């Protein structure tokens, strides 16, 4: 048991040092800057600050549904790409059969993409070229 | 590795998937309703033909899928019901103002899912097939989303079906954690040897909840009538026929494979569920004033009867389940088909309230006759297919000495007779000046009309002369090994 | 597995599952319902990972891939229906929408 504890300490002491160092560094930066830094007060100090630009409008702004469509398509295709990772880690083992499988998989994805672009799911410009599509969204 | 025999056996599934991709590219190229329907029907027919070739080539088994006679039976049922649904959707969507073609795409994907599901012998394919089956159904149910009932039914089905899937998955994970195997046979054997603890028990229970949801067994049936009522006709038909048949067959496979299932308490639980399902389904059907809801409750009750085959689970159980499934599918397809035909051309909500059907006989005698035959068959009157199915189920129950279940079937049938007769009487009432929803005049010429008429004739033919189907079924369900 | 028994992981997954189920039953806002569904699906995924690690098999992770694919597809279809729901009813309350009873 004693031996075991020593072994664990020997293995993990670096992590302990790292944690202590992180805490010490943060405390140093905050503490020193609060001691040395100047203070000022004013109305504009309490405004939200973003890269020097004063915020405008409400945060509860609503966006066009078309952005959502793009986001959704991204999520779906993104997840499909995960399956290709599974293929990539075993590409030597599965050989040509795996290659053709992946090729068919990518072809089906491509067919889906062609379909998406043809039905206008990828157009997020405010004005669709085809006026009939506007009602569908 | 895959051999050519494996590829050969996979042909029907591949054909359906290829049809789906073709239809998708076809829509991208040019929108054409009739052509899309034609390509889909062609693909499904090709798959049916290739199924025969696969069947004559004998059993093939891959680590994930097994192509034995039970999966052949399941695939035939799924494909045939999908074909009927597709034909009806052509009639239904004719007048739909929005995009029509995607419906076929969704239905083809769901059919592929059903075929994978019935052939699955691994938890991964079971899960994958089940999801490929239900995911397109969300879209199909909410397809006519401008009608708010359709949207509501889509949302309800999505939430409840996803919850059921989560139950199923969690159950699978627990079983996997106890046995270390994902193939169904190995998993059950592993559970047997480890004795199964509380985790395994919880896992089996959760899986039962998940599958019970999809089959709408009684404590988990609440979604069924709402979804059937709100969804567009063809989608509800698909849900009631192809989807349920596929889930039932995979449940049958699990019960048949597993020696672990032949313990008394499990039979008691299943028997209790079956009894509850048939009684509650029939009782709630009594108070319905909407034909689609009524058919929904009646389908709940019919799956209660079907569960009897699972409870008995030996002797003629598989054959009985097969025969009952066939009669149920024919009859339900016919009944929902008439509702669908009357609801098309699409004009808002489906014609499903019972008063739409008052005096139907005097306006559309053939459609009324078809509906009458189907209702008689659902009630299990002699000389219709439903009688043969019910006869087999009762015989199975009597042979196994499950008197409670036999009593439940008989009580359920008596209640059923009452509400089916009520609908039939409505069909023949004379009500001058009352014009309800109507089918277009030339409905009989259309493919949908032909399918419905053919189904009614099949129901009668099978009821009068059942021998060929019974022979076929006993061949299909006899264990080969 | 280094020291943590499999049961602990499974219990964590079960707790997550229960949280999701409770959210599904008690929340009426469609967004929260969908979030609860995601939690339930992911708890099942976690249980697969835990079990796969305990048996030192890759199958658990393969199943997890399938589960997250399903969760993504479920979420996108659910959100699409949610948008239609909001456009029709101007609300996300699932009770307000439920019109069919009996």
pLDDT digits (tens, 9 = 90+) for B39-74: 999 999 999 999 988 888 888 888 889 888 889 999
Are the Cβ atoms of A136 and B98 closer than 8 angstroms? yes
Within 10 angstroms of residue C3's Cβ, the number of other Cβ atoms is 5
Instruction: Give yes or no for B2 touching A (CB within 8 A).
Output: yes
Q: What is the largest CA-CA distance in chain A?
A: 78
Q: What is the Cα–Cα distance from B285 to B291, expressed in whole angstroms? A: 10
Please give the interface size between A and C, counted as residue pairs whose CB atoms are below 8 Å apart.
Answer: 25
Residue C16 confidence class, pLDDT cut points 50, 70, 90:
very high
Instruction: Give yes or no for A98 touching B (CB within 8 A).
Output: no
Chains contacting chain A through 3 or more C-beta pairs under 8 A: B, C
Are the Cβ atoms of C65 and A76 closer than 8 angstroms? no
Are the Cβ atoms of B151 and C98 closer than 8 angstroms? no
pLDDT at A9: 81
Half-sphere exposure of B171 (CA within 13 A, CB side): 21
Of A97, A108, A115, the CB nearest to B27: A115
Q: Which A residues, 55 through 84, put their C-beta within 8 Å of a C-beta on chain C? A: 65, 68, 72, 75-76, 78-80, 82-83
Are the Cβ atoms of C84 and B145 closer than 8 angstroms? yes
Residue A28 confidence class, pLDDT cut points 50, 70, 90:
very high
The radius of gyration computed from the CA coordinates of chain C, to the nearest angstrom, equals 17
Are the Cβ atoms of C100 and B153 closer than 8 angstroms? yes
Res. C22: pLDDT tops 70: yes
Half-sphere exposure of B105 (CA within 13 A, CB side): 20
Alpha carbon B366 to chain centroid, angstroms: 25
The 3 state secondary structure assigned to A17-48 is HHHHHHHHHHHHHHHHHHHHCCCCCCCHHHCC
User: Which of A62-71, B86-95, B436-445 has maximum average pLDDT?
Assistant: B86-95
Of A65, A75, A80, the CB nearest to C83: A65
Res. B184: pLDDT tops 90: no
No. of helices (H) and no. of strands (E), chain B: 20, 2
pLDDT at B262: 62
pLDDT at B431: 67
Are the Cβ atoms of B152 and C100 closer than 8 angstroms? yes
Between residues B242 and A51, which one has the greater pLDDT? B242
Q: What is the Cα–Cα distance from A114 to A63, expressed in whole angstroms? A: 26
Are the Cβ atoms of A97 and B1 closer than 8 angstroms? yes
Quote the minimal CA–CA distance from B475 to chain A in Å.
Answer: 35
Res. B24: pLDDT tops 60: yes
- The residues near C21 (Cβ < 8 Å, ≥ 6 apart) are B163, C36, C40
List, as one string, the DSSP characters of B212-269.
HHHHT-GGG-THHHHHHHHS-HHHHHHIIIIIHHHHHHHHHHHHHH-GGG--HHHHHH
pLDDT at B69: 86
ipTM of the modeled complex: 0.95
Mean pLDDT estimate for chain A: 81
Instruction: Give contacts of A111 with chain B, Cβ < 8 Å.
Output: 21, 24-25, 28
Are the Cβ atoms of B28 and A118 closer than 8 angstroms? yes
Residue B433 confidence class, pLDDT cut points 50, 70, 90:
low
pLDDT at B206: 92
Quote the minimal CA–CA distance from B28 to chain A in Å.
Answer: 5
Specify the residue for token string 């059969």: A97
Query: What letter would DSSP give residue B314?
Result: S
Quote the minimal CA–CA distance from C68 to chain A in Å.
Answer: 8
Of C57, C66, C74, the CB nearest to B162: C74
Instruction: Give yes or no for C16 touching B (CB within 8 A).
Output: no
When pLDDT is averaged across residues A16-38 and rounded to a whole number, the result is: 92
Residue B296 confidence class, pLDDT cut points 50, 70, 90:
very high
CB-count exposure of residue B402 (10 Å: 0-12, 13-18, 19+): buried
Res. A132: pLDDT tops 60: no
pLDDT at B260: 59
Chains contacting chain B through 3 or more C-beta pairs under 8 A: A, C
pTM of the model: 0.88
Q: What Å distances lie between residue B277 and A20, B180, B411, CA to CA?
A: 63, 34, 12
Hey, what are B393's tokens? 């189920």
Instruction: Select the residue from B6, B13, B19, B21 to test the A interface by mutation, using most A Cβ atoms within 10 A.
Output: B21
User: Which of A76-85, B403-412, B439-448 has maximum average pLDDT?
Assistant: B403-412
Res. B126: pLDDT tops 50: yes
Instruction: Give yes or no for A122 touching B (CB within 8 A).
Output: no
When pLDDT is averaged across residues B153-163 and rounded to a whole number, the result is: 93
Torsion of Cα atoms, A78 then A80 then A84 then A87, to 10°: 140
User: Nearest-CA residue of chain B relative to C50?
Assistant: B177
Res. B436: pLDDT tops 70: no
C25-84 tens-digit pLDDT:
998 899 999 999 999 999 999 999 999 999 888 889 999 999 999 999 999 999 999 988
Q: What Å distances lie between residue A132 and A66, A127, A135, B99, B241, CA to CA?
A: 16, 11, 6, 12, 36
Res. A135: pLDDT tops 50: no
**What are the sequence ranges of the domains in chain B?**
11-476
B212-250 tens-digit pLDDT:
999 999 888 889 999 999 889 899 999 999 999 999 999
Hey, what are B432's tokens? 């001058």
């Amino acid at each position: 048991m004693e031996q075991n504890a020593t072994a664990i300490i020997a293995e993990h002491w670096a992590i302990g040092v790292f944690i202590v160092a992180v805490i010490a560094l943060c405390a140093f930066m905050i503490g020193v800057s609060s001691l040395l830094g100047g203070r000022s007060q004013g109305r504009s100090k309490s405004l939200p600050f973003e890269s020097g630009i004063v915020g405008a409008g409400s945060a509860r702004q609503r966006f066009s549904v078309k952005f959502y469509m793009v986001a959704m398509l991204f999520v779906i295709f993104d997840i499909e790409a995960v399956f290709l990772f599974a293929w990539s880690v075993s590409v030597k083992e599965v050989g040509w059969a795996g290659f053709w499988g992946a090729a068919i998989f990518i072809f089906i994805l491509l067919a889906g993409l062609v379909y998406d672009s043809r039905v206008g799911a990828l157009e997020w410009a405010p004005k669709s070229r085809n006026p009939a599509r506007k009602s569908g969204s | 590795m895959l051999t050519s025999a494996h590829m050969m056996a996979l042909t029907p599934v591949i054909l359906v998937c290829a049809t789906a991709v073709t239809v998708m590219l076809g829509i991208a190229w040019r929108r054409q309703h009739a052509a899309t329907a034609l390509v889909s029907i062609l693909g499904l027919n090709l798959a049916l033909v290739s199924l025969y070739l696969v069947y004559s080539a004998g059993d093939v088994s891959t680590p994930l899928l097994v192509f034995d006679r039970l999966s052949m039976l399941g695939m035939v049922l799924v494909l045939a019901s999908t074909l009927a649904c597709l034909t009806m959707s052509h009639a239904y969507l004719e007048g739909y103002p929005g995009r029509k073609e995607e419906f076929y795409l969704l239905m083809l994907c769901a059919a592929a899912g059903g075929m994978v599901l019935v052939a699955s012998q691994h938890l991964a394919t079971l899960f994958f097939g089940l999801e490929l089956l239900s995911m397109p159904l969300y879209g199909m149910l909410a397809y006519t989303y401008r009608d708010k009932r359709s949207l509501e039914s889509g949302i309800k089905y999505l939430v409840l079906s996803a919850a059921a899937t989560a139950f199923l998955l969690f159950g699978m994970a627990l079983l996997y954690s106890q046995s270390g195997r994902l193939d169904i046979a190995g998993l059950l054997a592993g559970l047997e040897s480890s004795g199964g603890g509380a985790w395994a028990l919880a896992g089996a229970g959760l899986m039962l909840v998940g599958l019970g949801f999809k089959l709408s067994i009684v404590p988990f049936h609440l979604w069924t009538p709402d979804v059937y009522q709100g969804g567009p006709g063809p989608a509800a038909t698909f849900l009631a026929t192809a989807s349920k048949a596929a889930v039932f067959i995979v449940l049958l496979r699990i019960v048949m494979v597993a020696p672990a299932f032949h313990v008394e308490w499990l039979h008691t639980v299943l028997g209790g569920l079956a009894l509850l399902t048939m009684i509650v389904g029939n009782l709630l059907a009594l108070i319905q004033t909407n034909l689609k809801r009524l058919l929904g409750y009646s389908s709940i009750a019919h799956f209660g009867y079907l569960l009897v085959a699972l409870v008995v689970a030996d002797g003629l159980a598989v054959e009985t389940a097969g025969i009952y499934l066939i009669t149920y599918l024919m009859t339900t397809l016919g009944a929902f088909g008439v509702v669908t035909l009357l609801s098309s051309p699409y004009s808002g909500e489906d014609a499903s309230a019972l008063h739409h059907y008052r005096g139907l006989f005097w306006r559309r005698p053939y459609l009324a006759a078809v509906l009458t035959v189907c209702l008689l068959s659902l009630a299990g009157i002699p000389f219709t297919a439903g009688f043969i199915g019910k006869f087999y189920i009762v015989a199975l129950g009597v042979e196994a000495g499950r008197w409670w279940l036999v009593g439940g079937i008989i009580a359920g049938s008596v209640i059923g007779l009452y509400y089916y007769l009520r609908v039939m009487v409505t069909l023949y009432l004379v009500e001058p000046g009352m014009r309800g929803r109507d089918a277009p005049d030339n409905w009989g010429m259309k493919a949908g009309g032909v399918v419905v008429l053919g189904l009614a004739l099949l129901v009668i033919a099978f009821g009068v002369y059942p021998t060929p189907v019974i022979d076929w079924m006993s061949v299909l369900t006899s264990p080969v090994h | 597995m280094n020291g943590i028994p499999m049961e602990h992981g499974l219990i964590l997954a079960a707790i997550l599952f229960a949280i999701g189920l409770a959210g599904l039953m008690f929340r009426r806002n469609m967004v929260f319902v969908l979030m609860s569904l995601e939690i339930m699906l992911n708890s099942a995924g976690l249980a697969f990972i835990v079990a796969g690690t305990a048996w030192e098999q890759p199958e658990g992770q393969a199943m997890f891939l399938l589960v997250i694919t399903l969760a993504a597809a479920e979420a996108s279809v659910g959100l699409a229906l949610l948008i239609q729901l909001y456009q029709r009813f101007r609300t996300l309350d699932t009770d307000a929408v439920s019109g069919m009873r009996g």
